Amino acid sequence: MSVLVGKKAPSFSAKAVIGENIVEDYSLDQFIGKKYVVFFFYPKDFTFVCPTELHRFQEEIAEFESRNVQVVGCSTDSEFSHWAWLNTPKNKGGIQGVQYPLVADINKTIAEDYDVLAGDVMLDEDENVQIEGELVAYRGLFLIDLEGVVRHQVVNDMPLGRSIKECLRVVDALQHFEEHGEVCPMDWQKGDDAMTADHDGVSDYLSK
């Protein structure tokens, strides 16, 4: 598994669905210098755990927007599958009402570049292509800063849903550090004391 933290987020241009519209040549590069990005992968449309995550991001979208964060989802499904799922009511297993972009990684190159693609492609002794497992994305999540650099990543196996609260906490921690130059200790929450990046600051924090 590649660690992308501290590196430029891999660039891509792909089709995406935003609301009722299919967009050509969608890219995260448009947000450099303008917005933070939470870019997350999920395994498949029309599944069980995935809609709980996608709906939860939508429920908290105002929290992300208040932090100048653009939420973007991605899976290896086609744009037509995304569109159909977005037009399926929630009570029938759909994600109707989700308004943030869903990228279609039909060629699986984006998941490969972010190193969240499950399954393996190999050649047998006769040079025939063999695939082991399903070529779908793990539950990867990447926080990308205003410079287009990955500052946080987490990758869950497919049965394990993520925490929106933790995602927002990490956004808050990054923005606190950028604004105040203070580092954030374990379980830090917005409004808590942080630490200056020197021995005196650490001593002051630990003495409280």
Contact (Cβ atoms closer than 8 angstroms) between residue 72 and residue 103? yes
Question: Which residues are catalytically annotated?
Answer: 50
Residues 6+ positions from 56 with CB-CB distance below 8 Å: 164
Please give the structure tokens belonging to residue 131: 């695939």
Contact (Cβ atoms closer than 8 angstroms) between residue 73 and residue 102? yes
Contact (Cβ atoms closer than 8 angstroms) between residue 154 and residue 140? yes
